[in-house]
Amino acid sequence: MTTIFSSTQPQQETHTELALAGACRVVVLNDPVNLMSYVVLVFKKVFGFDERTARKHMLEVHELGRSVVWTGLREKAEAYAFTLHEWHLTAIIETDEKN
Amino acid sequence: MKRIEVKLSLPVVAPLLDVMKSVADSLMGSLAVPLNPIEGDEEMHDTLQAELLGAQNGGVRSLLEMFDREFFETGMIAFDEENAEPILRACAALRLRMREQYLKTFEDESLESGDVEIEDLPEPMRHIFMCYVFLATIQELIIQHLDSEILEG
């Protein structure tokens, strides 16, 4: 058996990890005023959800009091929260500690 | 342009307009959903607040403009792709403010289910609650009858 030692073999390995630096969650909170159909419409319009996904999030908001509707970079999370605010939904941004 | 025209009962709806206008006035200087403070960036907070307030007031204006002279002559209101979204949002803003200002004593469950005996309510609460329900009806009409291209585009 022959082992070839290459002089060009790297001595150190570089490991690159793509992390979501400062990842945030956009969380929509329940209110007793806005109609379910309205909330579904807003989710479809703002996040591009299909009917089923939008309804799932709406029911989470309704039954659990909150639903995480988006996770990603803070800047975009803030933009989503602003848009939800324009539609008069209560949204907060939470830091996603898993990322 | 797709357009929905709805004929309303003038004797029923006209008295609700005073409630609507009074709530709309209260929204002129404040948001229906308050904006949380942005830590350490008061200027950004004020900028966002002003933008949201501008959008909110624009929507409320669109809603009130539906009840113009033509409405008082014919009882007709109309939605199209230009006013549908602002009106939808304005209805939400007014309902949120009505809840905060006048309907605090109602249980969340009663408001969500609409399980309230209007006949048992004293004035002016009766008109306020009727207006609250009327605004939800406008929202339902828009959501059900304007197709997805207009509202979800």
pLDDT digits (tens, 9 = 90+) for B31-83: 999 998 777 788 999 999 999 999 999 999 999 999 999 999 999 999 998 99
pLDDT tier at A13, thresholds 50, 70, 90: low
Checking if the pLDDT of A18 tops 60, the result is no
For the entire predicted model, the pTM comes to 0.87
Interface contact B95-A92, CB threshold 8 A: no
Sign of the CA dihedral with B134 first, then B136, B142, and B147 last: negative
pLDDT tier at B101, thresholds 50, 70, 90: very high
By percentage, how much of chain A surpasses pLDDT 90?
72
How close is the nearest chain B Cα to the Cα of A60, in Å? 15
Chain A residues within 8 A of B108 when measuring between CB atoms: 32
Mean pLDDT of B140-152: 76
Q: Give me the residue spans of the domains in chain B.
A: 3-34+56-152
Is residue B45 within 8 A of residue B37, CB to CB? The reply is yes
Interface contact B33-A86, CB threshold 8 A: no
Give the span between the Cα atoms of A88 and A73, in whole angstroms: 22
What is chain B's mean pLDDT, rounded? 90
What is the model's pLDDT at position A2? Answer: 43
Give the span between the Cα atoms of B152 and B6, in whole angstroms: 22
What is the model's pLDDT at position A3? Answer: 43
Mean pLDDT of A41-57: 96
Is residue B64 within 8 A of residue B24, CB to CB? The reply is yes
Contacts (Cβ under 8 Å, ≥6 apart) of B76: B5, B6, B7, B8, B70
Interface contact A82-B92, CB threshold 8 A: no
Interface contact B92-A92, CB threshold 8 A: no
What is the model's pLDDT at position B22? Answer: 96
For residue A28, the cross-strand partners are A67, A91
Is residue A35 within 8 A of residue A87, CB to CB? The reply is no
pLDDT tier at B136, thresholds 50, 70, 90: very high
How close is the nearest chain B Cα to the Cα of A4, in Å? 60
What is chain A's mean pLDDT, rounded? 85
Checking if the pLDDT of A5 tops 50, the result is no
What is the model's pLDDT at position A1? Answer: 47
How close is the nearest chain A Cα to the Cα of B112, in Å? 6
Domains and CATH numbers, chain A: 23-95 (3.30.1390.10)
